[in-house]
Amino acid sequence: MAKLPPTGVGYQCLDERGGTLPEIIASLGLKPLKRAAERKIRDRLGFALALWEEPYTAIQVNDVVRSLNLHAKHFDKVVSLGAITRQGFARSDELAVSGELVRALTSEPMIGTVDRTHAYLSEFCDRAGVIASGCRAAAGTLSAIKGKSGKSRYRWYDEFTAVLLVICNLNDIEPTVGLDPVSGKAVGTLSEIASAFERLLLPKMRSRKPPTMVKRLQRSLERLREKATEGNSVRAPDS
Protein backbone atom coordinates (compact mmCIF):
# COMPACT_ATOMS: atom_id res chain seq x y z
CA MET A 1 0.00 0.00 0.00
CA ALA A 2 1.19 3.52 -0.76
CA LYS A 3 0.23 6.92 0.61
CA LEU A 4 -0.45 9.70 -1.84
CA PRO A 5 1.54 12.68 -0.51
CA PRO A 6 -0.95 15.49 -1.31
CA THR A 7 -3.93 13.81 0.35
CA GLY A 8 -2.64 10.98 2.56
CA VAL A 9 -5.19 8.67 0.90
CA GLY A 10 -4.26 4.99 0.76
CA TYR A 11 -3.90 3.25 -2.60
CA GLN A 12 -3.14 -0.41 -3.17
CA CYS A 13 -2.03 -1.81 -6.51
CA LEU A 14 -3.78 -4.87 -7.88
CA ASP A 15 -2.11 -8.25 -7.54
CA GLU A 16 -1.77 -9.16 -11.23
CA ARG A 17 0.78 -11.94 -10.84
CA GLY A 18 -1.91 -14.50 -11.64
CA GLY A 19 -3.46 -12.51 -14.47
CA THR A 20 -3.89 -8.89 -15.47
CA LEU A 21 -7.14 -6.99 -15.34
CA PRO A 22 -7.61 -7.16 -19.16
CA GLU A 23 -6.86 -10.90 -19.08
CA ILE A 24 -9.48 -11.51 -16.40
CA ILE A 25 -12.01 -9.45 -18.36
CA ALA A 26 -11.26 -11.57 -21.44
CA SER A 27 -11.48 -14.86 -19.51
CA LEU A 28 -15.02 -13.94 -18.45
CA GLY A 29 -16.02 -13.23 -22.05
CA LEU A 30 -16.75 -9.58 -21.22
CA LYS A 31 -16.29 -6.55 -23.42
CA PRO A 32 -12.73 -5.19 -23.39
CA LEU A 33 -12.41 -2.05 -21.32
CA LYS A 34 -11.42 1.16 -23.05
CA ARG A 35 -8.29 2.79 -21.69
CA ALA A 36 -10.18 5.47 -19.74
CA ALA A 37 -12.64 2.92 -18.34
CA GLU A 38 -9.82 0.59 -17.28
CA ARG A 39 -8.05 3.49 -15.53
CA LYS A 40 -11.22 4.31 -13.58
CA ILE A 41 -11.74 0.66 -12.62
CA ARG A 42 -8.11 0.36 -11.48
CA ASP A 43 -8.38 3.54 -9.43
CA ARG A 44 -11.63 2.52 -7.76
CA LEU A 45 -10.24 -0.91 -6.92
CA GLY A 46 -6.95 0.57 -5.71
CA PHE A 47 -8.68 2.97 -3.32
CA ALA A 48 -11.14 0.28 -2.21
CA LEU A 49 -8.46 -2.29 -1.42
CA ALA A 50 -6.51 0.29 0.57
CA LEU A 51 -9.42 0.38 3.03
CA TRP A 52 -8.59 -3.18 4.04
CA GLU A 53 -6.77 -3.50 7.30
CA GLU A 54 -5.00 -6.66 8.34
CA PRO A 55 -6.84 -8.24 11.28
CA TYR A 56 -5.28 -7.65 14.66
CA THR A 57 -6.15 -8.47 18.24
CA ALA A 58 -8.06 -5.56 19.70
CA ILE A 59 -7.13 -4.24 23.13
CA GLN A 60 -9.98 -4.94 25.54
CA VAL A 61 -11.31 -2.12 27.74
CA ASN A 62 -11.20 -4.40 30.79
CA ASP A 63 -7.47 -4.95 30.25
CA VAL A 64 -6.84 -1.19 30.18
CA VAL A 65 -8.95 -0.66 33.32
CA ARG A 66 -7.06 -3.43 35.10
CA SER A 67 -3.72 -1.90 34.07
CA LEU A 68 -4.71 1.58 35.24
CA ASN A 69 -5.81 0.27 38.64
CA LEU A 70 -2.55 -1.65 38.96
CA HIS A 71 -0.54 1.48 38.20
CA ALA A 72 -2.57 3.37 40.82
CA LYS A 73 -1.54 0.81 43.44
CA HIS A 74 2.09 1.14 42.39
CA PHE A 75 1.92 4.93 42.77
CA ASP A 76 0.32 4.47 46.20
CA LYS A 77 3.48 2.65 47.22
CA VAL A 78 5.54 5.54 45.84
CA VAL A 79 3.51 7.96 47.98
CA SER A 80 4.41 5.95 51.09
CA LEU A 81 8.09 6.77 50.48
CA GLY A 82 7.40 10.28 51.76
CA ALA A 83 5.96 9.11 55.10
CA ILE A 84 8.68 10.80 57.11
CA THR A 85 8.00 14.18 55.44
CA ARG A 86 4.31 14.24 56.40
CA GLN A 87 2.56 14.97 59.67
CA GLY A 88 0.21 12.37 61.10
CA PHE A 89 0.35 8.65 61.59
CA ALA A 90 2.38 6.24 59.47
CA ARG A 91 3.37 2.60 59.79
CA SER A 92 6.76 1.88 61.34
CA ASP A 93 7.99 0.09 58.22
CA GLU A 94 7.03 3.06 56.04
CA LEU A 95 8.87 5.45 58.36
CA ALA A 96 11.95 3.22 58.31
CA VAL A 97 12.04 3.03 54.53
CA SER A 98 11.36 6.75 54.18
CA GLY A 99 14.11 7.62 56.66
CA GLU A 100 16.70 5.55 54.82
CA LEU A 101 15.67 7.18 51.54
CA VAL A 102 16.06 10.67 53.05
CA ARG A 103 19.52 9.78 54.30
CA ALA A 104 20.56 8.56 50.85
CA LEU A 105 19.07 11.56 49.01
CA THR A 106 20.81 14.01 51.33
CA SER A 107 24.15 12.71 50.06
CA GLU A 108 23.17 13.52 46.49
CA PRO A 109 25.05 16.64 45.27
CA MET A 110 21.97 18.14 43.61
CA ILE A 111 20.05 18.03 46.93
CA GLY A 112 22.61 18.23 49.70
CA THR A 113 20.61 19.12 52.85
CA VAL A 114 17.90 17.41 54.91
CA ASP A 115 15.45 20.30 54.43
CA ARG A 116 15.87 20.23 50.64
CA THR A 117 15.54 16.44 50.70
CA HIS A 118 12.24 16.65 52.58
CA ALA A 119 10.93 19.27 50.16
CA TYR A 120 12.08 17.29 47.12
CA LEU A 121 10.61 14.00 48.36
CA SER A 122 7.37 15.63 49.51
CA GLU A 123 6.77 17.23 46.08
CA PHE A 124 7.60 13.98 44.30
CA CYS A 125 5.19 11.97 46.46
CA ASP A 126 2.46 14.59 46.04
CA ARG A 127 2.79 14.22 42.28
CA ALA A 128 2.67 10.44 42.61
CA GLY A 129 -0.55 10.78 44.59
CA VAL A 130 -2.10 12.92 41.86
CA ILE A 131 -1.10 10.37 39.19
CA ALA A 132 -2.56 7.52 41.27
CA SER A 133 -5.82 9.47 41.54
CA GLY A 134 -5.74 10.13 37.78
CA CYS A 135 -5.26 6.44 37.04
CA ARG A 136 -8.30 5.54 39.14
CA ALA A 137 -10.37 8.31 37.53
CA ALA A 138 -9.44 7.08 34.05
CA ALA A 139 -10.27 3.50 35.03
CA GLY A 140 -13.64 4.61 36.37
CA THR A 141 -14.45 6.55 33.21
CA LEU A 142 -13.57 3.60 30.99
CA SER A 143 -15.59 1.19 33.11
CA ALA A 144 -18.68 3.35 32.65
CA ILE A 145 -18.43 3.43 28.85
CA LYS A 146 -20.78 1.12 27.00
CA GLY A 147 -19.45 -0.40 23.80
CA LYS A 148 -20.75 0.74 20.45
CA SER A 149 -20.61 -1.13 17.20
CA GLY A 150 -17.88 0.12 14.87
CA LYS A 151 -17.72 0.45 11.13
CA SER A 152 -17.97 -2.68 9.05
CA ARG A 153 -14.70 -4.56 8.67
CA TYR A 154 -15.70 -5.19 5.06
CA ARG A 155 -16.23 -1.60 3.92
CA TRP A 156 -13.50 -2.26 1.34
CA TYR A 157 -15.49 -5.22 -0.01
CA ASP A 158 -18.54 -2.99 -0.43
CA GLU A 159 -16.57 -0.79 -2.82
CA PHE A 160 -15.09 -3.89 -4.48
CA THR A 161 -18.66 -5.15 -5.04
CA ALA A 162 -19.70 -1.73 -6.38
CA VAL A 163 -16.96 -2.03 -9.02
CA LEU A 164 -18.27 -5.47 -9.99
CA LEU A 165 -21.72 -3.95 -10.45
CA VAL A 166 -20.18 -1.38 -12.81
CA ILE A 167 -18.69 -4.24 -14.82
CA CYS A 168 -22.10 -5.90 -14.95
CA ASN A 169 -23.72 -2.65 -16.10
CA LEU A 170 -21.12 -2.14 -18.85
CA ASN A 171 -21.93 -5.61 -20.18
CA ASP A 172 -25.73 -5.45 -19.72
CA ILE A 173 -25.55 -8.31 -17.19
CA GLU A 174 -28.14 -8.78 -14.47
CA PRO A 175 -26.10 -9.37 -11.28
CA THR A 176 -27.18 -12.52 -9.44
CA VAL A 177 -25.55 -14.32 -6.56
CA GLY A 178 -26.30 -17.48 -4.61
CA LEU A 179 -25.21 -20.94 -3.52
CA ASP A 180 -26.13 -24.26 -5.09
CA PRO A 181 -27.91 -26.11 -2.26
CA VAL A 182 -26.60 -29.47 -3.46
CA SER A 183 -22.97 -28.80 -4.46
CA GLY A 184 -22.40 -25.79 -2.21
CA LYS A 185 -20.80 -23.96 -5.15
CA ALA A 186 -21.31 -20.27 -5.84
CA VAL A 187 -23.80 -19.61 -8.62
CA GLY A 188 -24.92 -16.49 -10.44
CA THR A 189 -23.39 -13.92 -12.75
CA LEU A 190 -22.04 -11.71 -9.97
CA SER A 191 -20.53 -14.74 -8.22
CA GLU A 192 -18.66 -15.71 -11.39
CA ILE A 193 -17.29 -12.21 -11.92
CA ALA A 194 -16.37 -11.83 -8.24
CA SER A 195 -14.52 -15.16 -8.22
CA ALA A 196 -12.39 -14.02 -11.15
CA PHE A 197 -11.80 -10.49 -9.83
CA GLU A 198 -10.75 -11.78 -6.41
CA ARG A 199 -7.62 -13.06 -8.15
CA LEU A 200 -6.58 -9.38 -8.25
CA LEU A 201 -6.64 -9.24 -4.44
CA LEU A 202 -3.77 -10.10 -2.16
CA PRO A 203 -4.05 -13.79 -1.17
CA LYS A 204 -4.94 -12.95 2.45
CA MET A 205 -7.83 -10.75 1.25
CA ARG A 206 -9.47 -13.42 -0.92
CA SER A 207 -12.50 -15.43 0.18
CA ARG A 208 -11.32 -18.79 1.45
CA LYS A 209 -14.41 -20.71 0.32
CA PRO A 210 -17.31 -20.08 -2.10
CA PRO A 211 -19.86 -19.71 0.74
CA THR A 212 -17.68 -17.00 2.28
CA MET A 213 -17.54 -15.08 -0.98
CA VAL A 214 -21.29 -15.36 -1.47
CA LYS A 215 -21.98 -14.06 2.04
CA ARG A 216 -19.57 -11.18 1.47
CA LEU A 217 -21.32 -10.27 -1.76
CA GLN A 218 -24.81 -10.54 -0.30
CA ARG A 219 -23.95 -8.41 2.72
CA SER A 220 -22.18 -5.82 0.59
CA LEU A 221 -25.14 -5.67 -1.80
CA GLU A 222 -27.46 -5.11 1.14
CA ARG A 223 -25.28 -2.29 2.53
CA LEU A 224 -24.98 -0.71 -0.91
CA ARG A 225 -28.77 -0.80 -1.33
CA GLU A 226 -29.24 0.79 2.10
CA LYS A 227 -26.71 3.47 1.24
CA ALA A 228 -28.43 4.18 -2.08
CA THR A 229 -31.82 4.40 -0.34
CA GLU A 230 -30.44 6.83 2.24
CA GLY A 231 -28.88 8.92 -0.52
CA ASN A 232 -32.14 9.07 -2.46
CA SER A 233 -34.11 10.11 0.63
CA VAL A 234 -31.65 12.92 1.30
CA ARG A 235 -31.90 14.20 -2.27
CA ALA A 236 -35.67 13.84 -2.51
CA PRO A 237 -37.33 17.25 -3.06
CA ASP A 238 -39.86 18.54 -0.55
CA SER A 239 -43.43 17.93 -1.64
CB atoms within 10 A of CB 61: 13
Is beta strand 178-179 parallel, antiparallel or unpaired with respect to 186-187?
A: antiparallel
Residue bearing the bigger pLDDT, 11 or 162: 162
Indicate the pLDDT class of residue 54, thresholds 50, 70 and 90.
low
More confident residue, 103 or 194: 194
**CA separation for the pair 228, 235 (Å, rounded):** 11
Cβ atoms 120, 105 nearer than 8 A: yes
Banded model confidence at residue 135, pLDDT cuts 50, 70, 90: very high
Highest mean pLDDT among 121-125, 126-130, 144-148: 126-130
Q: Is the pTM of this model over 0.85?
A: no
Report d(CA 162, CA 168) in Å as an integer: 10
Torsion angle defined by CA atoms of residues 56, 61, 67 and 68, in that order, rounded to the nearest 10 degrees: 140
Distance CA(47)–CA(122), nearest Å, equals 57
Greater pLDDT, 110 or 189: 189
Least confidently predicted of 92-106, 168-182, 215-229: 92-106
**What average pLDDT does the chain have?**
84
